[in-house]
Amino acid sequence: MTMDAPPSKIRKLDCTSVTKLEVHPILDPALTCETIASTSFQALNLVNKQVIGQIIGRLNELPESFQHLKRVGKDGSVLISETEESAKQIIIGLKNDDVRIEDLKTVSVPSKKPSTRRQFEVSKLLWSTSFHPNHEVEKLLDGSFLTDSLREYVIRYTQRVLEMSDGCIAVQSNSILSSGCPSTHPLGHPVMEMVRNLQKRTGSDYLGTGSDVFLVNEPCAMCSMALVHFRIKRLFYVRNSKNGVLKDDGWQLHLEPSINHHYEVFRVNLYDESGSNLDNVDSNSLCTLAE
């Protein structure tokens, strides 16, 4: 296997030379999507609104997949059933003169619970919907997660890993836990070498539980799975790799439901006052072995 030649020179970075820092979280498409799927539902438009509470008390709960919907819409319509036939049977069973089959109507409702505030804003235009925001996710979406302290932290260790040309650094409690560069070993990828160089620990703790990992190149499937077993908290990488499995339009292995640990992934871009990209991006880079 071969590896593209590393940049001949890496510019020294510090917090003053970096005028623009982009830290792009690689999230589940279900979170970044601003639209919401809809489906049809049968609702009852009661003429006598005073009996709404009485009617709701006699209805069964909505199916589990529709628990995110509020029973009564903004116009006072009451959700009855997914199908017209079952809705009619429910109305007949109520035996109430204020509830008539001819008052049934088909409405559009969000078919899934909104995951973000953006999705909630779209959902409520269809039908009144419950929503409990995940504040950490909202910070990732609006960029407020990138505090001044995190900015300096990312710059510091991104510079360190870039100085290694194609390196990998694990950071724990703001100190370097282990580092590694590609070797000619059959499994000598940067991540694997970082794990190999980690001092042996006693006890049952996972090697890098809660640590952050900084990489030049997006890791391949083998390295990404190694980071699952390493139990890292966050991964920051600089360049997309041809064989990487974390990028937005890739496999996104870190989001795979079947794995037993998940970590956050961020793509880092650094710029100086001239707008030049300080990471010398090489789109042909690989997560691979040394030549």
Q: Are residues 172 and 264 in the same domain?
A: yes
Q: Determine contact, residues 278/272, Cβ cutoff 8 Å.
A: yes
Cβ–Cβ contacts within 10 Å for residue 170, how many?
A: 26
| pLDDT at 82 (0 to 100) | 94
What is the CATH classification number for the domain harbouring 192? Answer: 3.40.140.10
Q: Give all strands of the β-sheet with 38-44 in edge-to-edge order.
A: 78-81, 38-44, 104-110
Which H/E stretch holds residue 31?
helix 29-32
Q: Are residues 148 and 204 in the same domain?
A: yes
Mean pLDDT per 10-residue segment, the chain (291 residues): 41 56 94 93 92 91 94 94 95 91 95 95 94 95 96 93 91 94 93 88 67 96 95 95 92 94 94 67 72 72
| pLDDT at 8 (0 to 100) | 40
| pLDDT at 5 (0 to 100) | 41
Q: Are residues 169 and 261 in the same domain?
A: yes
Domain of 160, in residue numbers: 18-31+143-272
Residue owning tokens 């194609």? 166
Q: Are residues 26 and 148 in the same domain?
A: yes
Q: Are residues 176 and 248 in the same domain?
A: yes
Instruction: Assess if residue 213 is contained within a domain.
Output: yes
CA distance 22 to 27: 15
Instruction: Assess if residue 279 is contained within a domain.
Output: no
CA distance 26 to 21: 16
Q: Give all strands of the β-sheet with 234-239 in edge-to-edge order.
A: 20-25, 264-271, 234-239, 212-217, 168-172, 175-180
| pLDDT at 6 (0 to 100) | 43
Q: Are residues 162 and 264 in the same domain?
A: yes
Q: Single out the residue of 244, 47, 15 nearest to residue 253, CA to CA.
A: 244
Number of folded domains that form the chain:
2
Instruction: Assess if residue 116 is contained within a domain.
Output: no
Instruction: Assess if residue 288 is contained within a domain.
Output: no
